[in-house]
Structures are given as C-alpha cells and as structure tokens.
Amino acid sequence: MIHPDYEMVIGLEVHAQVTTESKLFSGSSTAFGADPNTQANNIDLGMPGMLPVLNQDAVDAGIKLGLALGCRINRKSVFDRKNYFYPDLPKGYQISQFTLPIVEHGNITIDLADGSTKNIGVTRMHLEEDAGKSVHDFGADHHSHVDLNRAGIPLMEIVSEPDLRTPEEAGEYLKKLRSILRFLEVCDGNMEQGSMRCDANVSVRKKGVNTFGTRREIKNLNSIRNVMRAIEFEANHQVDVIENGGEIYQETILWDANKNETRTMRSKEDAHDYRYFPDPDLLPLYLTEERIDGCAKSMPELPDEMKERFIKDYNLSPYDASVLTLSKANASFYEAVVDDKNDPKLCANWVTGELFGALNKAGLDIDESPISPEQLGELVAMITGDIISGKIAKTVFEEMFETSKNPKEIVEEKGLVQITDKGAIEAIVDKIIANNADNVEKYRSGNDRVFGFFVGQVMKETGGKANPAIVNEILKEKL
C-alpha cells in the first residue's frame, strides 16, 4: 500500500542459472557446493590466449525459454564484452549479449487474486556468464577471498517491461516465471541457493500521470518475499521524498532484509560506462530453422496450457487451476488423486485446502507428503460413496497425515462408518423428540431455528456419524 495519490511502476530483471553440466564457455563443472576454486579452469580464470567455446545446451535452453514466452527468436545474436573491474572477475569483462540478444519481445501472463489475468511484457532475454564470488571473511586473518567456481556459469537474464504496478503483481510474475523455467527444466528456480536472483526497478508517479518517474534499482534479491517487501518499502520511501519536496536520483541500492530498509550502493552506471563491444573471440550466433523447430518439438506442456486443460477437463475455477499447475509436482499429485474416477472439484478442494494447508504447517514439500495421492483419492471416494461424512473425513485426514495409514483402515479401526440405516436413525430421532417436548413445541409454533438443535442432538448421539441428508429428511418428517 502506498499513498492513495500515487502508483508504483516496477520492472524486474531476473538472472536464472541454466541447468547445464558445464559452463557457458568452458568445460568446468557447474555442480553446486564444491570446495572453492576446484571448478575453475584456465578459461574461467581469464588466462591470456584461452578461447571460449559456446555451450550449445545453454543455447537450446535459451531458445526454449524464448518460445515459451512467445518471444521473437533472433536468427542472429552477438556476444559482447561488458568491461568492469572487480576482484571476482579476473578477465576484466563479462561476456554478455547487449545489442542483439538471443530472444526478445515476449510476455508472461500473471494470475491476479480476483481470478483475472494480466499480460506483462518481456523486453528481452539474453545469455551471459556469471562472475565469481568474493568472500569477506573478517575473522582472525582479516582477509578477503575469491571463489571462482561460479565464474562462467551460464545465466539467462530475463528483463521485463515496466508493466508491474504492485508488489503482489511482481510476486506473481516471479512465481509464473519460475514455474515456466521449472516446467522447461532449464533452471531449478531455487532462489535461496542463488540459481534465480532478481533486481527490482522501482519508481512512483502521481495517478493519472503518463510519464514514468525516476527509478532506483534494488540489487540481488534472493526470495519472492524479499522482492515484495523491498518494493513496498522503496515505493513508500520515494513517495516520502517527493512529498517532502525532494527528488529521486537514478541509483543502485541494496535491500537489508534484517533492518527492513533499502540503502544506496552506488549511483547508477549507464551502458556506455561499460564500453560494450562484440567479443572478437566469439563469432555471432546463427540459429537455423531446423534447430528452432527441434526445440519447439521438444517443448513440454507449459503452466498456462496445463491450467487451461484443468479448467476444461476438470471443470475447476481459474484460481484452483492456477494453484494446482504452479508446479509439475502439484499437478501430477492432483491428477493421481482424481485418477480418472474421483470427483475433480472435490479432489481440488482436498488437495489445495486440507493437504496444502497441512504440508505448509509441517514445512513439507509435496513430494514429502505423508499421504499418497492414492490414499487421498480413496478418502474422497469414501465421501462421495456416502461411507463417511465430509466432517468425519477431516478427522480421518488428520490421522492419515500423522500415521500414513489407509483411510479404510482408520475408518474401520475407529468405527467411523457413516450411519445410513434409516431405521436406526429413526429410533434415535424418536428418542430425542420424546425428551425435548418444549423444543418440539417451539418448532411447531414456527421457530425454524430450533431445527438446528435437533440435528445437533442426533449428531451428538451418533458421534457425528449419521448421514446428514437422511437426518434432515427424517427430522422434517417427524417434527
């Protein structure tokens, strides 16, 4: 929330690490967690005379992402040198794509809370190499160290148009982009490990104004939550400055997650500060039609397509469908619960409501669920088959989550099978009516609300096991 007279303008730059075995221009391994400097060869170290060789898997990943985002795939693109000094960049330049990126002009459809969708433009996606890492270990020796394992790891930089207007939209954009990357299996999307990082560009303007305000860029945010919090804080800060007669300058800033505030890192550099020029060691990248077609043929079903299919085939609401297709694991769990036979809507309720809620509370991933899809499907079938009531099912579910037992077993053990025998229910109803003459009188003289009292008594008497429809029917009859 910001000042009601203002609106936020947000554009995101995402760096996604491409899941390749080797680096963008060398044969070094990209595996996570190795000892420092054990995965950096002469190319990554920037030794004179070394020649980069382009990783073709990273190129295919770029083409697939471009196709998934509806981008134009450039038949020719170019690798440029972006020159700057930093201890973790021994070459003195980063190889990136500046003038001609591999793909551009696409979009990402985000799902909004009210069930509607919004298209966010993707300006471009280019391939570039990552830098190394400086480790400032101010322990006993007061030294800084450089780890070059990450130097040369392939990244895709995905730049959005300034189309986002709220922190929530930015969060949805990142969620959708991450699920597209994961469906394509081109990036694991793990923000905590740094395989997906985000810079957020934020400006504010008075509502009704058509031009953009000056932006500040928040660097290297490592969770969706932090992206949203940082944007919120920054937008409010900018409004404060403007309302107090101040001015916003284009700057690069850092988010301090502990203090919950942004602070200036440096004034913003411009493209010309980097003296970009085409890397003379690398030829332009030409893509053939065969290659692009080949990538197109190998594309899996994507989140938006799967969402449409869930809406159509399972009759789900757009909201349920988008929650269930956020990850392949969610989607295949759900489809296994339905298993071509269970009520899809009821299954969606149990998966997105009960199951996701319990997993969340226990801090578990869906593939660590103590309840298998088959077991949850069985539980749903017991509800639709009138064997247990929805209410009892919740108790059974809790027990299943605790013990991983089958629902049938729990229901038998605890004697929870629903009472559908009319004679048995009638007998109970008769007894209750006989014992509550005053309430019967009230009901008969027009107080409909007393009906609930009778339903409650029957449920109490039967431990919640009486079939509610039959109870209603018999009570109406007898009262």
Binding site for ligand ADP (CB under 6 A): 9-13, 159-162, 201-203, 212-213, 215
The tokens 């332009």 sit on which residue? 284
DSSP annotation of 162 reads: S
The least CB distance from residue 9 to ligand ADP, in Å, is: 4
Q: Which residue has the tokens 């009759």?
A: 315
CB of 161 or CB of 339, closer to ligand ADP: 161
CA dist 264 and 167 (Å) reads 21
Q: Which is nearer to ligand ADP, 213 or 303 (CB)?
A: 213
What minimum distance in Å lies between the beta carbon of 159 and ligand ADP? 5
- Based on DSSP, count helices (H) and strands (E) in the chain, helices before strands: 16, 16
Tokens of 183: 């469906």
Residue nearer to ligand ADP on the CB measure, 9 or 417: 9
Nearer to ligand ADP, 11 or 152 (CB): 11
The CA distance from 401 to 358, in Å, is 8
- Min dist. Cβ of residue 211 to ligand ADP (A): 9
Q: How many C-beta atoms lie closer than 10 Å to residue 400's C-beta?
A: 25
Smallest gap from residue 201 Cβ to ligand ADP (A): 3
Q: Which residues contact 265 (CB under 8 A, 6 or more apart)?
A: 219, 251, 252, 253, 254
Task: Please identify, using beta-carbon distances, which residue of 166 and 201 lies nearer to ligand ADP.
Answer: 201
Could you give the 3-state DSSP secondary structure of residue 175? helix
Q: Using alpha carbons, list the distances in angstroms from residue 346 to 316, 341, 387, 420, 456.
A: 10, 12, 15, 21, 25
Rounded CA gap, 344 and 342, in Å?
Answer: 6
- For ligand ADP, give the closer residue by CB, 11 or 189: 11
- Smallest distance from ligand ADP to CB 157, Å: 9
To ligand ADP, the closest distance from the beta carbon of 235 in angstroms equals 10
Per the structure block, which two tokens stand in for 267? Answer: 């004034």
Q: What is d(CA 417, CA 466) in angstroms, rounded to the nearest whole number?
A: 9
Nearer to ligand ADP, 86 or 212 (CB): 212
User: Based on CB atoms, which residue is closest to ligand ADP, 15 or 23?
Assistant: 15
Beta bridge partners of residue 7, listed in sequence order:
205
Q: Are strands 103-111 and 72-73 parallel, antiparallel or unpaired?
A: antiparallel
From the CB of 389, what's the least distance to ligand ADP, in Å?
52
Within 126-185, residue ranges assigned H as helices are 167-184
**CB under 8 Å to 381, separation ≥6 — which residues?**
341, 342
Shortest Cβ distance from residue 264 to ligand ADP (Å)?
16
Q: Which residue is nearest to ligand ADP (CB)?
A: 11
* Rounded least distance, CB 213 to ligand ADP, Å: 6
**What's the rounded Cα separation, in Å, for the pair 352 and 206?**
39
| Angle at 178 (CA atoms; ends 173, 181), nearest 5 degrees | 125
**How is residue 32 written in tokens?**
């996570």
- The Cα 347–Cα 381 span in angstroms is 9
CB of 202 to ligand ADP, least distance (A): 6
Residue 215 CA to residue 12 CA, distance in Å, equals 12
Please say which residue, 7 or 399, places its beta carbon nearer to ligand ADP. 7
By beta-carbon proximity to ligand ADP, the closer residue of 5 and 137 is 5
